[in-house]
Structure 1
């Protein structure tokens, strides 16, 4: 992690689950970490969960990733207060349990697309402004196994969540090509976990996959650190992580 010491990492959806774990792991390993989320107070509380020497490296900005103007303002604030962005963790994601064919579900569908797809596009565009100046950086997309095949969960529809994750799978390759074409050494990595025990999985869904194994947010954060520590000439494009015995 030597090359990333005291450089700025931005983590979206940082108030819980995978995002909160990434904030703690990155701060404990020497990075200045800015968490973005609607529940800013939860990110502030993470300062008490990191090593004492890392507490001053954890910062929080309230930001709704469904609002492009809030994203633009947040990244301007980050660059002004903390410096250029070196690492971006596109973690924020939501799922809605309604059916695609249900009436009056348009708000659910748009919320998922705006967060899971457009939020990634907006945040990556804003972070890349810093990265293209320095010539290096690392963009992470916390994807899902649902971004590669559609899991079948009994009595459950994942609505437009799998299509949104298939979109970021394609975006990962587009970013790889663009970063190269623009003569940078910026890396992009998609991390696709199986089931993770976070708030995104509703209690109803847990009942439908009763006794299924789950990953922890820390498992994904640990994998992210591994990818971040690869040499400059090595890029892990896709990393899939599943709990042992997963049914999907």
Structure 2
């Protein structure tokens, strides 16, 4: 992490779970981490716990479904911290909204698109703009996807969510190609977790979810460790796709 000491990372969805773990590891590695989420207080509490660490966690409130919020965050970073060197597109969510169920809400589909797809696209565009205007040629963009972006499981409640994660996979490769066309050395990594023990399943299927009782799930730290592995690879090494599942997970 030495070459990243003192540099700036932006982590979306940094208040809980995988995002919180990634933010913590980057701070411990010496980075200035802008942690954003709708729950500002959770990030502020984490920042206090990390006081004295090698780096610093700076909380900012942001709803990634609102472009104006995202643009304000980038303007704030530009004014006070120079710009973004590393972007972690972690914010994501799922709703139980099957494709053909008459009770499925269009608003749930739109919410998943806004967070899982458009939020990533806007943040990536703005991060690249920030890097390019400062001549940063060694930056890194991470998109936290899902195993649901690689296969469609026979569970109707997750089919639209899966569609958004397939989009993330496609956008990651598209971003990589556009960076190569621009002769840039900015790297792009797509991380696809399987079952991770966070609040995700409870938000998705309810407080009685049995997801984490059926197998030994991954922990948020397992995913953040993979991010650090890709971030600290030699500059000529671009780790594009990481699929990481619990050993007991079948698909």
Query: Would you call these one fold, judging by a TM-score over 0.5?
Result: yes
Tell me the residue number matched to 1:114.
Answer: 114
1:197-247: CA deviations, max 9, x gaps?
111212467326742231111110011000000011000000111111113
* Mapped partners of 1:104, 1:118: distance in 2: 21
Of the structure 1 ranges 126-135 and 62-71, higher mean CA displacement relative to structure 2 is found in 126-135
Tell me the residue number matched to 2:80.
Answer: 81
Q: Is the 8 A contact 1:195 1:243 kept in 2?
A: yes
- The structural deviation recorded for 1:32 is 0.3
Evaluate the alpha carbon distance shift between residue 209 and residue 225 of structure 1 in structure 2; reply closer, same or farther with a 3 A threshold: closer
* 2:34 alignment partner, SS class: strand
Task: Find out whether 1:44 has 2:47 as its counterpart.
Answer: no
* Mapped partners of 1:205, 1:87: distance in 2: 37
- The structural deviation recorded for 1:15 is 0.5
Which runs of structure 2 are paired with 1:204-243 in the superposition (5 Å)?
206-207=209-210, 210-243=213-246
Which runs of structure 2 are paired with 1:45-194 in the superposition (5 Å)?
45-50=45-50, 52-54=52-54, 57-101=56-100, 102-103=102-103, 105-132=105-132, 133-153=135-155, 157-194=157-194
Kindly tell me the number of residue pairs found equivalent between the two proteins. Answer: 245
Tell me the residue number matched to 2:197.
Answer: 197
Task: Find out whether 1:245 has 2:244 as its counterpart.
Answer: no
Structure 1 unaligned segments of length 5 or more: list them: none
* Mapped partners of 1:163, 1:104: distance in 2: 15
* Mapped partners of 1:59, 1:17: distance in 2: 17
- The structural deviation recorded for 1:81 is 1.1
* Mapped partners of 2:82, 2:12: distance in 1: 17
- The structural deviation recorded for 1:123 is 0.4
Q: Is the 8 A contact 1:24 1:49 kept in 2?
A: no
* Mapped partners of 2:94, 2:208: distance in 1: 11
Q: Is the 8 A contact 1:8 1:82 kept in 2?
A: yes
* Mapped partners of 2:98, 2:140: distance in 1: 36
* 2:201 alignment partner, SS class: coil
- The structural deviation recorded for 1:49 is 3.5
Structure 2 unaligned segments of length 5 or more: list them: none
* 2:64 alignment partner, SS class: coil
Q: Is the 8 A contact 1:28 1:51 kept in 2?
A: no
- The structural deviation recorded for 1:104 is 5.3
* Mapped partners of 1:213, 1:161: distance in 2: 23
Q: How high is the TM-score relative to the length of structure 1?
A: 0.94
